[in-house]
Each structure stands twice: as C-alpha cells, then as structure tokens.
Amino acid sequence: MEARHVAVGMIFLSQTVLGILGNFSLLYHHLFLYLSGCRLRPTDLIIKHLIVANILTLLSKGIPQTMAAFGLNILLSDIGCKLLFYIHRVGRGVSIGSTCLLSVFQAIMISPRDSRWALLKEKAPRYIISSIFLSWIISILVNVIFLVYITGNLGNKNSTSLKYYVYCSSIRHDNTKDTLFAVLLSFPDVVCVGLMLWASSSMVSILYRHKQRMRHIHTTTSPRSSPETRATKTILLLVSTFVFFYTLSCNFQISLSVIYHLDWYLVNTAAIMAGCFPTISPFLLLSGDSSVSRLFLAWKRNRKTSNIMRNI
C-alpha cells in the first residue's frame, strides 16, 4: 500500500471518529440539560437537527472513503452507491439549512426592541419547526438527481461513459449539462450562505452598537457578557467556520462536476473538505454553550418548587 493511501486513510479515519464523538457529545450535553430540568431554548431544536445532519454526512462519506483509502475492496451495487451519495447530500443540505436558520434566528432575537425586526421576535420561535422541516424537504427533493446518475462499479460497464469517485461512479455528461447540474444543486446553498452573511453582518452591527453603549456605563463589578451575547458570538464563529470550509468545498465540488477525468488527489481532497465542518461544528457549539448558568437557573427553579410543595 502506498504512503499516500495510508495518510489519506488516517485523515478520513481521524475525521470520522472525532466528528462522531463530537456530535454525540453535543447530543448528550443537550439531553443532560433537558433531563436536569433546564429551560430549553428555541435554538436547541435547530442544534439537534444539525447534529443528525452532521452524523449522516460523516457516516455516509467517512466510512467508505476510509475503507477505500486503506485498500479494502468496496464493491457496492447501484442501490448502495445511490443511497450513500444521496444520504450524504441530504445531510449536507440540512447542515447548511440548520446553520442558516441558527444565524437568522439569533439575528432576529438580539435585535433591539425599536428595530424593524421587533415584531418578528415573538413570532420567530413558532416558525422554527416548520423551517426545519422545510430544510429537510428541500434537501430531499433537490438531491434526487443523485439517485438517477450515481452508479456502482460492479458489472461490465462502458468506462468511457462513467466518472469515477473512488468507490462509486456517475454517468458522464457534456460540460454544459454538468455545469447546469452544478448550478442547480448549488442554488439553495448560495441562498443559505447569502442569508448567513446578512444575519452575521446584522449581529456584528448590533454587538458593536451594544458595546459602544456599554462604554458609557460605569460599574464597580467586572463586566460579563450576557448569555445572549455569548450565544451570538458562538453562532458568528460557527457561521464564519462554515463559510470558510463551504467556500473551499464548493470550489472542489464544482471542479468534480466540470472536470472530465478526475484526479485521485482532487476526489479525496474534496471529500476531506466536505467533512471538516461536521467535525468541527459540535466542538464550537460545546465551547460556547452557557450550560453552567442554565443548570443554576434550573436548580433555583426546582428548589423554589420544592419549597412551595413543602409549605403546602
């Protein structure tokens, strides 16, 4: 086995294991807060769907890529390849949609009461569930194309009409059709990225104005940022990380769609870039979660409830 295959296999293995552990740790963290009686935030539901999407993305891409890199023969049927690519694309789409929803929702919730978004602050939590389901539906429908054009490497097929992706293949088209497919698949992602950039710029502007106002307030205690401010900074960091890795991944995906003969390095680098955000995002969310204050509030509420029951 060549050294390059071992190196790539180790990268895929580390990325997959680390990402799965991180996402399950984040899921356990939210379940622990829920069982401890903490008050759930509207964003918690979005984060749970983001976790599911990240796990689907990592498992459907990381495991077969790791096995292929270590030289294990993966002879998948057409159905197996279609399902793997389809699950990966659906998970990726929901991950993008969830991150977009997180940033837009947070931008609305921290907006001042006298802003034009003040009316949406009360209505926004009621639309979270429908927005999440809309993200799943759009991702499921848009990526149906992969169920049509992805095939397995089994059987005697005309190699000149196929484009190989290590363990699966796709039907080759002319450059015009490939470019059109790439544009259609990227359109929902571009819309989400545009909304994220708008929401991020709004949050930065709101935080800057808040910081300017706080300079005129003199207190004897040491200043501490509010939970809303910490959550906003975490989401800004999450969105910045997403946009960075998405831009790199999108460039590689477009190259895979347009280039006629795929290079081994290009295919594997594109797969590595696609797994970076699902691996890193749970650790960013864990580092910025104000769980201590949430547990303290839950403890105070439970203690108050027990005192009332004791007096009765």
Is 222 a domain residue? no
Measure the CA–CA gap between 96 and 230, rounded to whole angstroms.
22
Is 79 a domain residue? yes
Per-residue buried b or exposed e for 217-234, using 16+ beta carbons within 10 Å of the residue's own CB = eeeeeeeeeeeebebbeb
Measure the CA–CA gap between 303 and 77, rounded to whole angstroms.
58
User: 174 falls in which pLDDT band (50, 70, 90)?
Assistant: low
Q: For residues 30-39, give the mean pLDDT.
A: 77
Measure the CA–CA gap between 57 and 52, rounded to whole angstroms.
9
User: Residue 72 sits in a domain of what CATH number?
Assistant: 1.20.1070.10
Number of structural domains (the chain) is 1
Please report the pLDDT score of residue 15 as a whole number: 93
Is 219 a domain residue? no
Is 19 a domain residue? yes
Is 117 a domain residue? yes
**Sequence letter at residue 35:** L
Percentage of the chain with pLDDT > 70? 78
Phi first, then psi: what are they for 85, rounded to 5°? -65, -40
| Crossing angle of the two packed helices 3-35 and 276-288, in degrees rounded to 10 | 30
Task: Show Cβ contacts of residue 114 under 8 Å, excluding neighbours closer than 6 positions.
Answer: none
Is 233 a domain residue? yes
Cα-based angle 66, 90, 70 (whole degrees, multiple of 5) = 5
Residue with structure tokens 């086995």?
1
113-167 pLDDT tens trace: 766 766 777 788 888 999 999 999 999 998 998 888 888 766 545 555 677 777 7
Is 276 a domain residue? yes
Cut 0.85: pTM above it:
no
Is 75 a domain residue? yes
Task: Show Cβ contacts of residue 27 under 8 Å, excluding neighbours closer than 6 positions.
Answer: 48, 51
Q: Which residue has the higher pLDDT, 280 or 211?
A: 280
Measure the CA–CA gap between 140 and 125, rounded to whole angstroms.
24
With beta carbons less than 8 A apart as the criterion, state whether 100 and 243 touch.
no
Q: What is the DSSP string of 50-113?
A: HHHHHHHHHHHHHHHHHHHHTT------HHHHHHHHHHHHHHHHHHHHHHHHHHHHHHHHTS-T
Q: Which residue has the higher pLDDT, 142 or 254?
A: 142
Q: For residues 274-296, give the mean pLDDT.
A: 74
Please report the pLDDT score of residue 300 as a whole number: 47
125 by Cβ neighbours in 10 Å (0-12 / 13-18 / 19+) ranks as: middle
Q: Which residue has the higher pLDDT, 101 or 164?
A: 101
Q: Which residue has the higher pLDDT, 108 or 305?
A: 108
Would you put residue 166 in left (φ > 0), alpha (ψ -120 to 50) or beta? left
Please report the pLDDT score of residue 154 as a whole number: 60
| Length of the chain as a residue count | 312
Give the residue numbers spanning the domain of 192.
3-214+227-307
